[in-house]
Amino acid sequence: MTARLQVVLLGFVIFTSIAIALHAFGFQLRLSGSPDFHVRFDAIPIPAAMHVLGSGLALLIGGFQFSQTLRRKYLHVHRWLGRIYLIMILIGGLGSFLLAPQAAGGLVAKIGFFLLAVLWWFSAFQAYVAVRRGDIAEHRAWMLRNFALTFAAVTLRIQLGTLTASGVPFEEAYPVVAWLSWVPNLVLIEWYLALSQRKAAANARAAPEGALSGN
């Protein structure tokens, strides 16, 4: 992937993340969101607020963490945002576990959201353990996987909006997007990681040859 494409992609990710994070804060203030959701969320207001605000903040912060400029010039900011991001996942994820059993869309949607919450916590934990051991490559890989899951909040709303606008009833669309919002995100990241690894290995093989030939 070229550097320019990476910047454009990151810009898109940050822009859409901010938009959906603002929707989450609006939801908490009752400025947005469908009445059905508010009824379900009002039944467990504290876990619901933990989910909406915690996950919303994680989404707001997450994209910026992949900026090379931020990491190179302001590493202390990257570290502090990283700590806040992980705490927000802890809080937001706990809320997700409590919301998943009462989600709309039947058992298929409930299992989809529950598994997403498990993987969200698991990948955040792996990223934290990797950075504590000083393994930056592994930390980056786990954070990419983790943010691909955080970004499900964006893909879900794009997919749900597209499906319902095309005439698919909400009850049919919701169980589909409970999986479709995150499984392809993860597959794409795994593919990107495998590609980067192959490229790095090829460069490493080429480097000694270049050194020998005096290049």
List of residues contacting ligand HEM (CB under 6 A) = 20-21, 24, 27, 33, 37, 40, 51-52, 55-56, 58-59, 96, 99-100, 103-104, 113, 116-117, 120, 149-150, 152-153
Q: Which is nearer to ligand HEM, 41 or 139 (CB)?
A: 41
Smallest gap, in angstroms, from Cβ of residue 184 to ligand HEM? 14
Say if residues 26 and 33 touch (Cβ distance below 8 Å): yes
Smallest gap, in angstroms, from Cβ of residue 210 to ligand HEM? 43
For residues 112 and 186, what is the distance between their CA atoms, to the nearest angstrom? 14
Smallest gap, in angstroms, from Cβ of residue 19 to ligand HEM? 9
Within 8 A by CB and 6+ apart from 207, the residues are none
Q: Which is nearer to ligand HEM, 40 or 71 (CB)?
A: 40
Say if residues 175 and 108 touch (Cβ distance below 8 Å): yes
Distance of CA 198 to the CA centre of its chain: 24
Q: Which is nearer to ligand HEM, 141 or 174 (CB)?
A: 174
For residues 210 and 190, what is the distance between their CA atoms, to the nearest angstrom? 30
Smallest gap, in angstroms, from Cβ of residue 89 to ligand HEM? 8
Smallest gap, in angstroms, from Cβ of residue 20 to ligand HEM? 5
For residues 71 and 65, what is the distance between their CA atoms, to the nearest angstrom? 7
Smallest gap, in angstroms, from Cβ of residue 4 to ligand HEM? 28
Task: For residue 201, give the 3-state DSSP assignment.
Answer: helix
Q: What is the 3-state secondary structure (H, E, C) of 32-80?
A: CCCHHHHHHHHHCHHHHHHHHHHHHHHHHHHHHHHCHHHHHHCHHHHHH
Q: ∠ at Cα 8 (7, 10), nearest 5°?
A: 65
Q: Which is nearer to ligand HEM, 33 or 184 (CB)?
A: 33
Running DSSP on this structure, what letter comes out for residue 29? Answer: T
Q: Which is nearer to ligand HEM, 135 or 171 (CB)?
A: 171
Q: Which is nearer to ligand HEM, 131 or 156 (CB)?
A: 156
Count of beta carbons in the 10 Å neighbourhood of residue 119: 18
